[in-house]
Amino acid sequence: MPAELENTSAVTVSTASGEASASSSGNQTAPPSTTTKKKRNLPGMPDPDAEVIALSPKTLMATNRFVCEICNKGFQRDQNLQLHRRGHNLPWKLRQRSSKEVRKRVYVCPEPSCVHHDPSRALGDLTGIKKHFCRKHGEKKWKCDKCSKKYAVQSDWKAHSKTCGTREYRCDCGTLFSRRDSFITHRAFCDALAEESARAQTVANSNSEEDPKLQMVATAATSSPPPASSAPVISAGLPIQNPELPEVQENPSIILNHAPSATCLDGSSSSNSSSNGCGSSNNSSNVFASLFASSAAAGSLQPQTSSFSDLICAMARSERPTTLSAGSAAEPTSLCLSSTSLFAPVGAERRQFAPLPQPAMSATALLQKAAQMGAAGTNASLLRGLGLTMTSSSPSEQQESLQWSRRMEAEPAPLAAGLGLGLPCEGGTATGLTELMMGQSSLFGPRPTTLDLLGLGMGSGGAPTGGLSALITSIGGGLDVTAAAASFGGGGSSPGRTWEEASERKPNSPPALL
């Protein structure tokens, strides 16, 4: 397959393009240096003749970019291609390179949020930009056998593998450490040491354990403390995907069944359906409440469902008469998958949802749906059935068990009442959220153009419905968050950002959150 050659979008920049040094933006980092073998000009001294190449990620990562025009064989390096071409006995004319190739090339990173995306920060070495892209934006395909570290660039992985496991410290309890300070700290508190000292005292031996047991361990071994030795409180009390926990083992069978139903707003009792009735009862407050009900569509679950899920479903079912306004047959045991996973961080129920992706919706759809629900009025408790025990556990029950999940099981009654956001809605129309988005909310006073939620610069007029549609269209078109950012005075960038100087925030192009 002929790989695309470089000029997918070649930009010739006569000024401000540069052979930026590979380390120019990485002042504070300690990653393995990119392999820029040649000396680069300092940033700020661009080579005006350099051709700035912007490759797509696919092209960039393509391994055989240099293709022989005669036989279409691909090579990783240009030199190799030239060597190969000689073997074709080309006529003299074709043997020479085109003069174009003599020109200096610099490459930008395809990731828009990256600092190297700017031509003035381009890297001069193709390998360098490849490695950069891999490391910063790429998937970490290379995993160290011995420890859990993952790397996106093969040479990084190799470099790590050389040192991993070569210098290891072994505690008497059998745990291995690659770092001395971790080893020392562990050893100081380890039971093995205590026992040893006790023995040493009784036998009155001279200290033989004075030196940390440095061992060159040839074979690979895990360096993490064995989880099995952890106190029962922790392992049971945490949402561990630990196959040793019996309760977890029962759940895998449930997971798949959950998946389709979880993502459907209207959870039918059949946990396998994913598309039925999705459009039906969504305009009712029922939906809103049910969105927060446990996603454990209890009616259809196998008996292995944890009692927590049963509990939630029981409550959700009991609520049905009161909240049902749309007479759909669909059940309130429908789901917002993430609610349970959100608020039941411990225990089996979380395990059920762990491998599932979010009920993925675009921002527009989410906002729209929220507004819809507002239109129908909400008298539903926001958090009913979320299983948040923080509201209403009685003291005696609190002390009953040591574990979060058990605690939740012990309190059916308060859960039924929910967290108490079930107030009569205050003017529960779509206008609340819409106004918010339109910037007309009384929260912020009469400044419609600058205080839009998403900086859409929308005018002060417009019916809610129309406004919402327009809003959503605008979202589809683009987000201008600078105006919105200004209204909150700072913190305009988003988390999950890539490498940046602290002073160099880019509010205009925040990295995509996801």
Distance (Å, rounded) from C-alpha 152 to C-alpha 132? 9
Please state the closest distance from residue 320 (CB atom) to other proteins, in A.
18
Dihedral sign from CA coordinates of 303, 305, 306, 307: negative
358, 445, 459, 460: which one binds other proteins (CB under 8 A) = 358
Distant-in-sequence, close-in-space partners of 86: CB < 8 Å, separation ≥ 6: 95
The single-letter DSSP state of residue 123 is B
Please state the closest distance from residue 151 (CB atom) to other proteins, in A.
9
Stretch that binds other proteins, among 14-22, 67-75, 94-102, 223-231 (CB under 8 A): 223-231
Yes or no: say if 157 and 148 are a contact pair by the CB < 8 Å rule: no
Stretch that binds other proteins, among 46-54, 77-85, 302-310, 494-502 (CB under 8 A): 494-502
Distance (Å, rounded) from C-alpha 332 to C-alpha 315? 10
453 contributes a contact to other proteins by CB under 8 A = yes
16, 71, 329, 417: which one binds other proteins (CB under 8 A) = 417
43, 412, 428, 462: which one binds other proteins (CB under 8 A) = 428
254, 311, 348, 367: which one binds other proteins (CB under 8 A) = 367
335, 407, 409, 438: which one binds other proteins (CB under 8 A) = 407
Structure tokens at 393: 């556990």
Query: Most distant CA pair in the chain: distance in Å?
Result: 93
Burial pattern 31-49, b for ≥16 Cβ within 10 A else e, equals eeebebeeebeeeeebbee
Question: How many residues belong to the site for other proteins (CB under 8 A)?
Answer: 161
Distant-in-sequence, close-in-space partners of 213: CB < 8 Å, separation ≥ 6: 169, 170, 171, 172
Direct distance between the N- and C-terminal alpha carbons of the chain, in angstroms, rounded to an integer: 32
* CB nearer other proteins, residue 204 or residue 390: 390
Please state the closest distance from residue 359 (CB atom) to other proteins, in A.
6
Stretch that binds other proteins, among 34-42, 118-126, 310-318, 331-339 (CB under 8 A): 331-339
* CB nearer other proteins, residue 127 or residue 469: 469
Stretch that binds other proteins, among 47-55, 59-67, 80-88, 491-499 (CB under 8 A): 491-499
Dihedral sign from CA coordinates of 222, 223, 227, 230: positive
Alpha helices in 263-347 (DSSP H): 285-292, 307-323, 337-343
Stretch that binds other proteins, among 40-48, 73-81, 310-318, 333-341 (CB under 8 A): 333-341
3, 23, 32, 310: which one binds other proteins (CB under 8 A) = 32
Give residue 70's identity as a one-letter amino acid code.
I
13, 61, 67, 193: which one binds other proteins (CB under 8 A) = 193
* CB nearer other proteins, residue 10 or residue 366: 366
Distant-in-sequence, close-in-space partners of 324: CB < 8 Å, separation ≥ 6: 284, 286, 332
Please state the closest distance from residue 387 (CB atom) to other proteins, in A.
9
Please state the closest distance from residue 146 (CB atom) to other proteins, in A.
13
Alpha helices in 106-190 (DSSP H): 126-137, 154-163, 180-189
180-188, long-range: CB within 8 Å, 24+ apart, which pairs? 180/212, 183/212, 184/212, 186/225, 187/212
- Residue 471's Cβ-side half-sphere holds a number of Cα atoms within 13 Å equal to 28
* CB nearer other proteins, residue 253 or residue 399: 399
* CB nearer other proteins, residue 17 or residue 300: 300
Structure tokens at 1: 């397959």
* CB nearer other proteins, residue 420 or residue 461: 420
Region 124-183 residues binding other proteins, contact defined as CB under 8 A: 135-139, 148-150, 173, 178-179, 181-182
421 contributes a contact to other proteins by CB under 8 A = yes
Give residue 424's identity as a one-letter amino acid code.
P
9, 29, 79, 222: which one binds other proteins (CB under 8 A) = 29
373 contributes a contact to other proteins by CB under 8 A = yes
Separation of CA 171 from chain center = 35
Please state the closest distance from residue 213 (CB atom) to other proteins, in A.
12
335 contributes a contact to other proteins by CB under 8 A = no
Give residue 71's identity as a one-letter amino acid code.
C
The site string for other proteins over 253-282 (x = CB under 8 A, - otherwise) reads -------x--xxx--------xx--xx--x
Give residue 195's identity as a one-letter amino acid code.
E
97 contributes a contact to other proteins by CB under 8 A = no
449 contributes a contact to other proteins by CB under 8 A = no
297 contributes a contact to other proteins by CB under 8 A = no
48 contributes a contact to other proteins by CB under 8 A = no
* CB nearer other proteins, residue 102 or residue 231: 231
Please state the closest distance from residue 49 (CB atom) to other proteins, in A.
32
* CB nearer other proteins, residue 52 or residue 171: 171
Residue 296: closest CA among 277, 310, 317: 310
- C-alpha dihedral, 318 to 319 to 321 to 323, nearest 10°: -170
Distant-in-sequence, close-in-space partners of 258: CB < 8 Å, separation ≥ 6: 271, 295, 296, 297, 337, 352, 353, 356
383, 438, 456, 458: which one binds other proteins (CB under 8 A) = 383
